[in-house]
Every structure is written in C-alpha cells, then in structure tokens.
Amino acid sequence: MARAKVVVVGGGFAGVYAARRLARADADVTLLDRTTTTVFQPLLYQCATGLLSEGQITSPLRTLMRRHRDVRVVLGEAHDLDATRRVLTARRPDGSTFELPYDHLIVAAGMRQSYLGHPEFAVHAPGMKSIDDALAIRRRVMSAFEMAETMPDPEDRREWLTFAIAGAGPTGVELAGQIREFALYAIENEYRAIDPAETRVLLFDGGDRVLKSFGQHLSRSAQRALDRLGVETVFGVHVTDVDAEGVTTTAKADRKQERYDARTVLWTAGVEAVPFLQVVARETGATQDRQGRIPVRPDLTVAGHPEIRVVGDVMILDDLPGVAEVAMQSGRHAGEDVRRLIAGETRYGTPFRYRDLGSAAYICRRNALIEAGPLRLDGFVGWILWGVIHIAFLAGVRNRVGTVASWLLTLGLNRRSERAYPLSNPATAVLPYRDDAA
C-alpha cells in the first residue's frame, strides 16, 4: 500500500509545528516555503533597528527538519491548487513550476502586510512581515541619520530626523520605542553635525489609544512609557497618503487633513492573507473575509474538504487572534490529527481547543506588558517575563545565547552592533508575493 502524502504550505510557526508533529507519521511529508528559513516574527523589529542580526531570529528549515527523515523541505511559492485531483502547483524562484500531489494538505501560508487598498504605499513605507522588510527598514532608519548629518539646511535635517509610523498595535509601538532608544542611547555621541536626541517619532492610529488588544490599564501604562521616551502619538486619524517626503492623515471625526514631513515612513497598520488563499477559496468554495482568511470547521478542516486544513492566522475560528501562539497550537493540532488519521487511530478529526497563554508587548528598555487571564504586568517585572518568554520560543541554542548576549551588550554599553544594511532596497520588501497566484 502506498504511503500517504502530506503537503504543508508555509514554514512559519504553524507550518513548522505541523511538520514536526507529522515526523512520526507513516507518510511522506513535504514542507513547502518560499524562503529557506523560518523567522521568529515577534523580534523582527529588533532586527530592523540594529539590536539583533537576521541570523539570530531565523533558523534554516532544513536544519530544523534534519532529524526527521520523512520530512522533505522544498523551496517554492504555492501557486495553484486542483482540489479534485489533489495536486498543488508550486513556483520556483526562477518562475518554473512543479506539482506536489497530496492526500492531506495543511495550509499555513501566513499573512502579508496590507496597505488597506493602497498597494502603492509599499514603495515608500515598508511593512514588517519578513527579513527583507526588516532589512529594508534598517536601511531606511540607519541611512536617515547619515543623510541628516550632511544636510546644511536645518529644515532638511528635521525631515530626515522625523520618522512616521502607521499603526499603534504591538509592532508599531515596538518600532517607535526602538527608534527613539536607538537615537537617545546607541548613537548619541557618534555624530558631529546633528543631535540624535532631536529625532521625532510620530505614531499614527485610527483608534483612541495604543495597543487596543490589551486592557485599558496596560494601554495607559504603555502610553506613559512612550510619552517619557518622547514618542508622539496621534489618534483618531488614518494615513491616507504616503510619498517620499512624508504622510498625509485624515481625521475620522471631521475629515480634516494634515501633512507631516518625514523622510522615513513605516507601515504596521494592517495585514491580509497571501494570494494563495484566494486559490484555496476558489477550489473549496470557501468565502474569505475582508482580510482574505478562510473559515474552518472545529477540526480546522475546510467545509466539504476533510483533506484540507487551514491553520494559523489565515483561518477563521471562534474569533481567535492572529498571534504566534494560535499558529503554534493550531499547527500542532493539525499535524497530530493527520498523523492519527494516517495511523488509523481515528476516522474523524478532533476539535481544536486553544489555550490562551496571554499576550506580550515590548515598549522600551526595562518596560514591557504581559496580559494573561487575570494577570496584568508592566514595567520592569513585565520586561523580565517578556524576555524569558521570547527566549523560550526562539529556535536553537545558538540563537538564544546570541540574543541574550546582544540584549546585555545593548543594556550595558548602549551599543547596537547589527547596523549593516544593503545599499539597494530589497526587492521583496516592495513586492513580497506574486499576486498572479490566483
């Protein structure tokens, strides 16, 4: 009897956890991803601001799967799907394609940055979803200070020392805090013509507070920390235009527009499913939501297609948030369910039960938020626990040791050694995915 074939699309948290669970199955497992590494996305902003290297927050997928002989890692982007024939078509980096037949398909393709109907903003405002994005942001942040250093006109210097960030969720808040910390501590004595302390960081959001996913108390605590750090928050507005010299905002209340001159604009205001989810929806008859996510049954399968599971932040189930812990747990559950089905231990999938372990957000040095059930922590205690949690989930001993060493170096000596950046803009930070996948 032929061995079962399982294809896992996506090498993020959900895909890796699913593939690892399937390593014990009597099956040929293929893990497909458009890159060769898995990225620890919660620390991307630290890579972008020179605190950590890209190597410290990534692990090669082949290294993670090297002991699992039945798991094959394949480089390619999921491009098309024939749900009737049960064949997935993937595209290599050179544009050629190949087919992957499957008996079970686990879609963990993840989300990409959404510009809310304005994809042209991406040219001037990189998002924060990949290593390419992080390096593009690092390039813009580091080079802004270099440009300001040689500008004879004070107004030009002010524009280069102004950073505008759209979105006051965890990523936006973390980026804002890190840029101000970088200016105040890491480079305060390194320039002769400019004073890095004059750096302005503007944080825009359509809501009425930062970190809306946290409770009011923790949100207010984060606001106070940002105020002390010198981050300027602007609420009740949408960023409605972006160009090379700044942003235009529109107030939600009266539609009044205001212009902010800023040579560096960063975007963290929204996410959407990658293009392959449109293909999955077309083939399965599923209806996507505004973000492109697909509804799943309690066992994470798509209605009418018990052989297809959608996991992580691209699934819709019980209003679960698109956070790392949901991705890990749903990926693990899908992998275990498929393993049991292949082994004949069950005929049906089991309902997924999410265990909420809480949320965490870094604000600035010695200040982070932790919210887990009734537990609410901020300040130094929250910062310590935040560090422990993130180190525990990093893949690989080398990454954990290197990350702790970099944190200690930054705290003790106010240095950031990871400040190298590409001279040209990484192409995938402008166009992360091939939108003709559907």
Is 146 in the active site? no
Q: Which of 77, 174, 272, 371 is catalytic?
A: 174
- Residue from 282, 273, 357, 276 nearest 316 by CA: 273
Secondary structure of the chain in the HEC alphabet?
CCCEEEEEECCCHHHHHHHHHHCCCCEEEEEEECCCEEECHHHHHHHHCCCCCHHHHEEEHHHHCCCCCCEEEEECEEEEEECCCCEEEEECCCCCEEEEECCEEEECCCEEECCCCCHHHHHCCCCCCCHHHHHHHHHHHHHHHHHHHCCCCHHHHHHHCEEEEECCCHHHHHHHHHHHHHHHHHCCCCCCCCCHHHCEEEEEECCCCCCCCCCHHHHHHHHHHHHHHCEEEEECEEEEEEECCEEEEEECCCCCEEEEECCEEEECCCEEECCHHHHHHHHHCCCCCCCCCEECCCCCEECCEEEEEECHHHEECCCCCCCHHHHHHHHHHHHHHHHHHHHCCCCCCCCCCCCCCCEEEEEECCEEEEEECCEEECHHHHHHHHHHHHHHHCCCHHHHHHHHHHHHHHHHHCCCCCCCCCCCCCHHHCCCCCHHHC
Q: How far apart are CA 61 and CA 284, in angstroms?
A: 29
Residues identified as active-site: 174
